[in-house]
A and B are shown apart, each in its own frame.
Chain A
Amino acid sequence: MTRHTLKWFATPLLLAVLIAIWEIYVRAFSVSPFILPSPAEVGVALIDVLSDPKTYYQIWVTLFETIAGFLIAVAIGVLLGGLLGKLRWLETTISPLIVGLQVMPKVALIPLFIVWFGFGITSKVVLAAVIAFFPIMTNTILGIKSVERGHRDVMQCLNAGRWETFRDVEFPNALPYILTGMEVGIVLATIGAIVGEYLGGSEGLGYMAVATLNAFDVQRMFAVIVLLTLLGLILYFAVVMLRRRLTPWHQSVSTDARI
């Protein structure tokens, strides 16, 4: 069975089986719809949500927050990572500080961000950026530092200057690492935007999820969660495709790869 068949046939099949089990479970054990609605009910709620034009505005808000935060994280993460990767002394100095910031639960900073940036979109963008930034920067540093000694020898023998070495060796070498960091980063940016909306917002899919819960409309809440998941998936695969496009030479991108 080829990978192609597996993905396009077996995966939907598995999904269908899981949904069927869910349906059977809810019916067999008479689970209250306030705890776990049946797939059918969630499906109906989903159609309802998607027919509401206001939903698309909410989707757009969350999308904007996520992508804006992500792009900021990429810009600062790659820049800082590049700098720290090349300047060892700087990295040694700053590193403990960065580790400290990294392990701090950023979610705990949300009230602070709201005080600083208000209840609007800005605080969510900042949160998304802050969370997504770390894996991107860390991976960039690793990528720059992982240049093989043999490759450096080659550039040395060719009398290459520092800029040429960066352009022709260090950066292309680091690119797969950076893009992998971005794959992690986009997911974190999505989470950051949504959690930000949970805890202090009035717009977006995260806010919708909370609002539907407060209204005890559990089916609708599940529908929103499905939408959120789809959003995350689409963004994630967009970055994966980018990685495949930009680094076709890498071992991880084999010639017969699909999604």
Chain B
Amino acid sequence: MDKAALRPVPPADVPRINLKGVEQRFGPIEAGVQALTRVDLAIAQGEFLVLLGPSGCGKTTLLRIIAGLLKPTAGTVEIAGAPLWIGDRRNDAAMNELGVVFQEANLFPWMTIEDNIALPLKLRGVGKAERREQARELCALVGITGFEKRWPRELSGGMRQRAAIARALSCKPHILLMDEPFGALDAMTRDQLNIELQRIWMESGCSIVLVTHSIREAVFLADRIALLSPRPGRLDTLREIPLERPRDIYVQSTDAFGEIELALRKRLDSFA
């Protein structure tokens, strides 16, 4: 799946995602909630960035802004150099760079797994036979071969999320956005999927922005962690994670890992 090689890639100095002065306010000026203030963030190509923070720090809001589901009340969002919003209208072409995975798999119950995965391709006019072929490849990539013809309700939560990831990857996006994708799963499945995600990321070469409130997950997956503090939501720190790749599950027991985890935990505690 040499996806990275198949797409024209903008020059390396243009960040994949560029946020400048992004703010989000809900409600009227006097009585509303300032969910995010002055967020400046640049995410490079191929980078794995994790948004980490406690509840209410605005990380999901920030992801929804990047995903184009929410227009920020201030600031600009650029995807591969192109603005996401032009006036009040969304730049749909920029949206084509993105694949989104939500906390709920959000598969359509009335479609089989392979139809769900192939839906983005169908919306782009890809033919039936090719869609089926791609769906089968993607199922193999995420590890759910054999379940193509099943209904979503017949799959476990973990498998549904794998299917959701496959769907997000079907149009070979350069950027994958994930909002606590493993939050609804048990710890063991979560560990397993973290490893799978790292593998998929390394194979596809896309940038990933993942939201989580699990420090362990963040340190395991990230190249960089953006720590967000609440009330109002702001970018508190950006921390590099210099652990070697590929990381296996045992790296979580090493001292280096533990130190980083501890430092982050202390920082998070200071927000309370």
Interface residues, chain A, with chain B CB atoms under 8 Å away: 148, 150-151, 153-154, 156-160, 164, 168-169, 172-173, 175, 247-251
Contacts and interface: CB of A to CB of B under 8 A. Distances in A.
Contact of A168 (B67, B68, B119): B119
B123 A151 contact: no
B100 interface: yes
A167 to B, nearest CB: 10
B110 A158 contact: no
Given A164-B123, A168-B119, A249-B153, A157 B95 contact: yes
A154 B106 contact: yes
A20 B111 CA distance: 49
Contact of B108 (A151, A156, A251): A151
Contacts of B151: 248-249
A18 B102 CA distance: 55
B119 A249 contact: no
Nearest to B110: A172
A256 to B, nearest CB: 13
Interface in B103-155: 104, 106, 108-111, 119-120, 123, 151, 153
A156 B69 contact: yes
A250 B109 contact: yes
Contacts of B98: 157
B123 A153 contact: no
B69 A168 contact: no
Contacts of B92: 159
A164 B123 CA distance: 8
Interface string B83-107: 0000000001001101010101010
B105 to A, nearest CB: 9
Given A164-B123, A168-B119, A251-B153, A157 B108 contact: no
24 contacts: A150-B102, A150-B106, A151-B106, A153-B100, A153-B102, A154-B100, A154-B108, A156-B68, A156-B69, A157-B67, A157-B68, A157-B98, A158-B119, A158-B123, A159-B95, A159-B96, A160-B123, A168-B119, A169-B108, A172-B108, A249-B109, A249-B153, A250-B109, A251-B153
A249 B110 contact: yes
Among B96, B110, B151, the most chain A Cβ lie within 10 Å of the Cβ of B110
Interface residues of B, number: 20
B120 A158 contact: yes
Interface in B205-258: none
A58 B153 CA distance: 46
B164 to A, nearest CB: 9
Contacts of B111: 168, 172, 249
A157 B119 contact: no
B221 to A, nearest CB: 22
B123 A159 contact: yes
Contacts of B102: 150, 153-154
Given A169-B108, A249-B110, 8 more contacts: A153-B102, A156-B68, A156-B69, A157-B100, A159-B123, A164-B123, A172-B110, A249-B153
Given A156-B69, A157-B68, A168 B108 contact: yes
Contacts of A249: 109-111, 151, 153
Contacts of A157: 67-69, 95, 98, 100
Contacts of A168: 108, 111, 119
A139 to B, nearest CB: 17
Contacts of B96: 159
